[in-house]
Amino acid sequence: MDRLDYDNVKGFLNTKYMGRNIAYFDKITSTNDIAKKLGDEGEKEGLIVISEEQTKGRGRMGRKWSTHKGDAIAMTLLLRPNIPPKDAPSITPLLALSIVEGIKDLTGIECGIKWPNDVVLDGKKLSGILTEMKLSGAKINYIAAGIGININQSAFEDEIADIATSLKRFSGLDFNRARILGEILNSLEKNYEEFKANGISVFIEKLKKYSVLIGQRVRIELTNEKIEGKVVDMGEDGSLIISNDNGELKRVISGEVSLSWYYKAK
Ligand code: BTN
């Protein structure tokens, strides 16, 4: 098995700080939990917690995320951006874009982004992101950005068999996980630096290009509202613009999106 420790990953990195400090584990509860602990202890931005297996891997909306030994990437990135907390939701699509670009640069496989948190391939989920933020007063203390990417799985558990895919399932090939990880981190550092300097607006064209939602009918659950309609555009702030059945335009900055062909049962 190609271990995802620093010795194996460093040869694929051209970053200054992203992934230069890897906390590597064979088995832990959840990389997000450890990253948050290290964040509380003051670790620097760019730290990555990686585990080959997670016993309590978490997805969004209280869902479970399984990570079995050696066939996926399960990691959490520690970020400390000096931006207003209201701009933090943009980091999730920025991560999704970096995953898409890293995979495309290395393999030529073009994935899509199901805004804001998922990377999809062939209409199925390849990667999910769980971003957790800790504030200190009105400022961001840290963001623990958990990323799961399906790489070499040949099959999935029954409950997700119809909605999940891996690079191997799609292409029939086995991939070097360390190399994919390196390429994603390279793309991520570049994008993150640009985001800190210029905001999310400079990424909108790319986010639109890879979006699988534009033109689709969706249902979005917000804390106290449900919006149904057609996605017509993406705003300069990275929000999704939806035309509802009364023809009103609604802007959504984050939320859980249901598509008719995706996550049917969830
Ligand atoms: C989702 O799609 O619901 C988000 C899935 C996020 C999974 C990753 S795997 C690494 C990190 N550790 C966790 O417990 N969850 C995230």
The per-residue pLDDT for 266 is: 37
The per-residue pLDDT for 232 is: 96
What number does the ligand 1 atom closest to the CA of 54 have?
A: 14
The pLDDT tens digits for 218-228 are 998 888 888 99
- Give the mean pLDDT per block of 10 residues along the chain (266 residues): 92 98 97 98 98 95 88 97 94 97 97 95 96 95 97 92 95 97 98 97 97 94 87 94 93 78 42
What number does the ligand 1 atom closest to the CA of 67 have?
A: 9
The pLDDT tens digits for 198-225 are 999 999 999 999 999 999 999 988 888 8
Is the distance from the beta carbon of residue 63 to the nearest atom of ligand 1 less than 6 Å? Answer: yes
Is the distance from the beta carbon of residue 134 to the nearest atom of ligand 1 less than 6 Å? Answer: no
Is the distance from the beta carbon of residue 60 to the nearest atom of ligand 1 less than 6 Å? Answer: yes
Is the distance from the beta carbon of residue 58 to the nearest atom of ligand 1 less than 6 Å? Answer: yes
What number does the ligand 1 atom closest to the CA of 128 have?
A: 2
Q: Which of 99, 90, 112 is nearest to 195 (CA)?
A: 90
The per-residue pLDDT for 260 is: 57
